[in-house]
Amino acid sequence: MPGAATAAVVDTRLRTQHAEGPAAVLAIGTANPANIVYQDGFADYYFGLTKSEDLTELKDKMKRICKQIYPSTSTVALSIILSTCAELTLICFSTPDESKIVGHGLFGDGAGAIIVGAGPLADGECPLFEMVLASQTTIPGTEHALGMQTTGSGIDFHLSIQVPKLIKDNIQQCLLDTFRSVGNMDPNWNDLFWAVHPGGRAILDNIEGELQLQPAKLAASRHVLSEYGNMSGTTIAFVLDDLRRRREKEGYEQQQYEWGVMLAFGPGITIEAMVLPMPGAATAAVVDTRLCTQHAEGPAAVLAIGTANPANIIYQDGFADYYFGLTKSHRSGIEKRYIHLDEKLIHEHPEIIDKHMPSLETRVDIVTTEVPKLAESAARKAIVEWGRPVTDITHLIFSTYSGCSAPSADLKLASLLNLNPSVSRTILSLHGCSGGGRALQLAKELAENNRDARVLIACAELTLICFSTPDESKIVGHGLFGDGAGAIIVGAGPLADGECPLFEMVLASQTTIPGTEHALGMQTTGSGIDFHLSIQVPKLIKDNIQQCLLDTFRSVGNKDPNWNDLFWAVHPGGRAILDNIEGELQLQPAKLAASRHVLSEYGNMSGTTIAFVLDDLRRRREKEGDEQQQHEWGVMLAFGPGITIEAMVLRNPLS
């Protein structure tokens, strides 16, 4: 470790972390509630359940829609859960409404589980589907065609009748682009097996017609739609499970197709596509070539950092007066915070501070616009520092607890920045203060396993979503949290001209402290997000941080680390957390200087804060300028609901 032969450690780590073969599905499990409702009787069931039998015209319309979604047979069923399981249809279930009866006649409840791994496989492990290449494509200008919005009555979904046609018009090009990436320039769609998310019969019919597929190609998808309805993201697990059971029943490998494709559709409209070769098929050359070219040449590294805050600044010693005239606070370690919410906004939306009025929809409407805009400010700073065209961004990870709608903040930010429609997006929701750390680990994996990948991480939070009138149980949080956005660009070798690594990311770990699920968390209510923060959190972190770090550093060969020989980027969850870590690890006071400075200047901005700490740390390093005095190795820490500890071993590339 400090003073060790770094290159050997990093090279060994890279060689051992890459798998020997492509990822593969190793196991699939599915489940549904016990309650079954047959499709030909669903309209009667639904209108009876909602006590709306008097709406006869709407009921007759729903009966016609249910038949169009899938023809009524004795085996057609939709599983509906109303009380025993919190599934999607419960969260968006409502009384009859002209704009929603299509969705109510389509969606069902279910759960799916898939285990994925890559070689070397252990004894007994059997790959069901190999996964060679995945792509994500957003159809431009379709943000309003398919989506969801959190309201005081649950989740309100909207589904345009144009969705099947929009998918039809774009599916061919999307698939051609995907298959060309594995060297197939002229695929014959009928020479593939198909696992298509059955969003509805019209979607399957349109895909089948556009690609001129033989009727049997979508048999698994149609069967799942018939038996279960559309279970949203769960459904693809059922389709893969049905597909593998059909394959097992056929039993003759020579009759089975060598290559296949998986398709799923979501808000955006987003098309997820994956090339699936059959395990054991003669695809070794293609797969080996893909594996050799997709891995990066070195460890992932932070290439650029950008931060942003709202214009409104509240100094900490006046925050209590600002908030509700309570006693002034001066022991928090915070000097000031940036907060989007101001008196003008309260005047325009008085329901925000009226606990007797629902305000969730108001808050969601505001943050849906303002969170991506704040993230854009930080992202543009990072992109300028990075120095490459924005079109070179291949992946986007967005972490926020402030977003409660779909299309979500990741797609909105991609549009604001004019990222490519094929950028691969991931949204992390409600990870709280550990969201930035989680995003960094995902970015590391993406950068190192996808050659030339450049991952933009964006974290943005507005406390507006959880702002409330004074309450004894919440004043600690209100005196701690602030608003901000952070952006980090991550990539791995080969680096382009002008790219300069700020922090190499050698190894990451995630640890959950057992039995702490109720110590730190968030809950969506009619008045926004209600957070709870136990006074035991600093002590729980203190009691577990040493072992967590020891386990992490042992993974890179350091069995006896000296904590004061490292640089530290710790999420400043509060002064008590920093004090407890410093005391437990016997750190020198200067070790947490960057974290304490960020806490003082900005407060706790949840998952965003770690970007500010890394930015402060690198600026201190640049200011010192004396390279031989800089520590080679460091650690990043972030904490979130669970209690979850995100840890990452960092290396200073300038040391």
Per-residue pLDDT of 200-257, as tens digits, reads: 899 999 999 999 999 999 999 999 998 888 888 889 988 998 998 888 887 655 467 8
In this predicted structure, what is the pLDDT of residue 461? Answer: 92
Rounded CA-CA distance 288/274 in Å is: 17
Neighbours of 313 (CB within 10 A): 13
**Cα-Cα-Cα-Cα dihedral sign, residues 217, 222, 223, 229:** positive
d(CA 62, CA 646) in angstroms, rounded, equals 48
Higher pLDDT, 63 or 134: 134
As a whole number of Å, the end-to-end CA separation of the chain is: 12
What is the pLDDT, as a whole number, of residue 570?
97
Catalytic-residue membership of 174 = no
pLDDT at 157 over 80: no
- Residue 409: pLDDT above 60? yes
What are the residue ranges spanned by the domains of the chain? 24-118+126-292, 301-651
What residue has token string 């800089």? 630
Question: Above pLDDT 90, what percent of the chain?
Answer: 42
Q: How many whole angstroms separate alpha carbon 397 and alpha carbon 519?
A: 27
pLDDT digits (tens, 9 = 90+) for 551-585: 999 988 888 899 999 999 999 999 999 999 999 99
| Residue 27 pLDDT greater than 90, yes or no | no
Mean pLDDT of the chain: 82
Closest to 407 in 3D by CA, of 201, 140, 199: 140
What distance in Å separates the CA atoms of residue 627 and residue 222, rounded to the nearest whole number? 63
pLDDT-derived band at 293 (thresholds 50, 70, 90) equals low
Into which CATH architecture does domain 301-651 fall? 3-Layer(aba) Sandwich (3.40)
Q: How far apart are CA 100 and CA 302, in angstroms?
A: 45
Q: Above 90 in pLDDT, residue 146?
A: no
Sign of the CA dihedral with 354 first, then 359, 363, and 366 last: negative
Give the Cα separation of 46 and 37 in Å (integer): 10
The pLDDT tens digits for 106-123 are 788 888 888 888 777 788
pLDDT of residue 493: 85
Please say whether the beta carbons of 140 and 97 come within 8 A.
Answer: no
Give residue for tokens 């003082």.
Answer: 600
- Do the Cβ atoms of 432 and 522 come closer than 8 Å? yes
Q: How confident is the model at residue 31 (pLDDT cuts 50, 70, 90)?
A: low
Strand duo 528-533 + 644-651: pairing: unpaired
Q: What is the pLDDT of residue 386?
A: 95
**Catalytic residue, candidates 66, 404, 433, 466:** 433
Distance CA 492, CA 449 (A): 9
Dihedrals phi, psi of 537, to nearest 5 degrees: -55, -50
Residue 59 parent element (H or E): helix 56-69
- For 181-234, where are the alpha helices, taking DSSP H only? 201-211, 219-228
Q: Give the model's pLDDT for residue 512.
A: 93
Q: Which residue has the higher pLDDT, 114 or 5?
A: 114
- pTM of the complete model: 0.85
As given in the structure block, the two tokens for residue 200 are 């509805």
Secondary structure of residue 570 in the 3-state scheme: strand
Write down the H helix ranges in 493-562. Answer: 537-554
Backbone angles phi, psi at 31, to 5 degrees: -155, 150
Degrees, nearest 5: CA angle 175-178-182: 130
Write out pLDDT tens, residues 165-200: 999 999 999 999 999 888 888 889 999 999 999 988
CATH label, 24-118+126-292, candidates 3.40.710.10, 3.40.47.10, 3.40.30.10, 3.20.190.10:
3.40.47.10
**Does residue 178 contact residue 210 with C-beta atoms inside 8 Å?**
no
CB atoms under 10 Å from CB of 353, counted, come to: 16
Structure confidence at residue 324 (pLDDT) = 42
Residues 6+ apart with CB under 8 A from 313: 336, 337, 338, 339
pLDDT value, residue 106: 76
Query: In this predicted structure, what is the pLDDT of residue 87?
Result: 45
| DSSP secondary structure code for residue 531 in this structure | E
List residues bridging with 114 in a β-sheet.
28
Residue 230 CB-half CA count within 13 A: 22
> Which of 242 and 26 is assigned the larger pLDDT?
242
Find the mean pLDDT for residues 25-36.
63
Structure tokens at 11: 């090279």
| Cβ-contact 340, 464 below 8 angstroms | yes
Across the range 343-371, mean pLDDT stands at 87
Identical fold, 24-118+126-292 and 301-651:
yes
